[in-house]
Structure 1
Amino acid sequence: MSRHQQGVSLVELMVGIAVGLFIVATASFAVSNQLNDNRKLALEAQVEQDLRAAADLIARDLRRAGYWQNAALQFASSGSATNRYAAVTAAGQSASYAYSQDAPGHDNDVLDSNEQSGVKLDSGTLKLLMGDGGWQAITDPAVVTVTGFRLTMNTHELSLAAYCDAPCPPSGTPATCPPVQQVRELQLQINGTAASDARVTRSLNTTVRLRNDRVVGSCGA
């Protein structure tokens, strides 16, 4: 009785191996793309979180700009009281401002060194000026590189003539009568890239309303 061997030929075996390798390669490519997408999403979320945290820190500090315990004295008819913390300078990639940090009821009406504040972009890192503590980084250069930072001041003036006890003298004497209340807003724009992958970029825009308005001018005598 003859025996018949069963199995696959060499050609069939090679075709099977080729098909198997193709399936494995396709699956590996899909998994690799999925991992890359997940990595990019994680980096985008990390960069977004760092930029938003920095923007929140800047916004909270900027809202204090111009704070003065005796601010009500600015509205006195004499107009003699001056807010030494009122000035806010914001241009391009930096801003400087100040606010009172004296104990409640003990404001010395002097702009002390510990009351100086500011924000700036320095070599891809955002920094805040903490008075005598100097400049402190608020973004992590190992996570995000800040590629763009811009502050734009918008000011809207409101006349306070209705609150003056005496009318203003003839026009131009003085030119600062009646006083005006300056309502100030800062537009904040930050752009950044992931430190480990420059292809991952994020941007953030927000508007900060300064809580302490500035009063310029005085009422008539």
Structure 2
Amino acid sequence: MLISQNQKGMSIVEVIVALLIASVVIVAALTLFSNSMTTSQRVLDQGKLDRDLNAAMDAMVLDLKRAGYWGTATNSNTNPFMATGLDITTNSDGTCVTFTYDKNNDGTVATVSAAADDEHYGFRKNGAALQYRPPGATTDCSAASTNWDNLTDTNILTITAFNVTTTNTALAINGTTNTTQMRKVTISVTGYLNNDVSNAKTITRTIRVNNNKYIP
């Protein structure tokens, strides 16, 4: 005798419930993946911001440490590279610094010229960029924006703040009125990547200038 058996499958309700559960799992997985991607991108952006700001800072620090170097300092106590207008000079709001040093070691301040390194240097904030003074350019901090060259790329990085301050400590020489000044420069830079405006960063360094200033 044949015995009939009913073939049972999933009901429509069960199928709908299963699909809902699967959808929730998929949405959760996609959300987790999206959050992970966002976090990873933020980490990459933070690393690039750090590198770009520190690269600009390194360039400024290395140059400023040389300020006032004089190749023939043993011949005289009047250093031409520390004369008024040639020594480390900042503008009124500290957004620009200019200085000189004896790069070719000949003992004299070079004439301003675009033909070669003229031993006049400077850094400033101009708009969204940090700029440096190239050979032959105007040495004044108020020079036109096209007169100095960009140290940072405004297509990638926006500089929102730049400040330079100097601190001089005078030390008496042999108990006389003659002094030597130990000089420090503090540089602060703030900026953000253009694709992540909300993530700004400030870096600050204080350096000791290698060359003391003698004041007879």
The structure-2 alpha-carbon separation of the partners of 1:74 and 1:154, relative to structure 1 and needing over 3 Å to count, comes to farther
Q: TM-score, normalised to structure 1's length?
A: 0.82
Q: What CA RMSD, in Å, does the superposition of the two structures yield over aligned residues? A: 1.7
Aligned partner of 2:166 in structure 1 is: 153
Where do 1:22-171 residues align within 5 Å? Answer: 22-75=24-77, 82-86=78-82, 87-91=87-91, 92-102=94-104, 104=105, 106-107=106-107, 109-113=108-112, 114-132=118-136, 135-161=148-174
Task: Give the Cα separation in 1 of the matches to 2:60 and 2:194.
Answer: 21
Q: Does the CA contact (< 8 Å) of 2:109 and 2:119 recur in 1?
A: no
Note the alpha carbon deviations across 1:153-186, whole angstroms, 9 max, x for none. Answer: 0110011245xxxxx7xxxxxxxxx221111100
Q: Does the CA contact (< 8 Å) of 1:44 and 1:201 recur in 2?
A: no
Further displaced range: 54-63 or 178-187 = 178-187
Alpha-carbon offset, residue 2 of structure 1: 2.6
Task: Give the Cα separation in 1 of the matches to 2:214 and 2:180.
Answer: 5
Aligned partner of 1:172 in structure 2 is: none
Residue identity in the other structure for 1:129: R
Task: Give the Cα separation in 2 of the matches to 1:123 and 1:180.
Answer: 40
Q: Does the CA contact (< 8 Å) of 2:70 and 2:102 recur in 1?
A: yes
Q: Which runs of 5+ in 1 are unaligned?
A: 76-81, 163-167, 169-177
Q: Does the CA contact (< 8 Å) of 1:187 and 1:207 recur in 2?
A: yes
1:212 aligns to 2:211 (yes or no): yes
Task: Give the Cα separation in 1 of the matches to 2:70 and 2:119.
Answer: 11
Q: TM-score, normalised to structure 2's length?
A: 0.84
Aligned partner of 2:188 in structure 1 is: 189
Point out which structure has higher relative CO (alpha carbons under 8 A, 6+ apart). Answer: 1
Residue identity in the other structure for 1:142: N
Alpha-carbon offset, residue 46 of structure 1: 0.2
Task: Give the Cα separation in 1 of the matches to 2:26 and 2:164.
Answer: 53
The runs of at least 4 consecutive aligned structure 1 residues that moved more than 6 Å come to none
Note the alpha carbon deviations across 1:51-78, whole angstroms, 9 max, x for none. Answer: 1111100000101111111223444xxx
Alpha-carbon offset, residue 36 of structure 1: 0.3
Residue identity in the other structure for 1:139: T
How many residue pairs are counted as aligned between the two chains? 194
Q: Does the CA contact (< 8 Å) of 2:193 and 2:199 recur in 1?
A: yes
Alpha-carbon offset, residue 101 of structure 1: 2.7
Note the alpha carbon deviations across 1:163-215, whole angstroms, 9 max, x for none. Answer: xxxxx7xxxxxxxxx22111110011111111111012221111121111111
Task: Give the Cα separation in 2 of the matches to 1:74 and 1:206.
Answer: 33
Q: Which runs of 5+ in 2 are unaligned?
A: 113-117, 138-146
SS of equivalent residue, structure 2 residue 198: strand
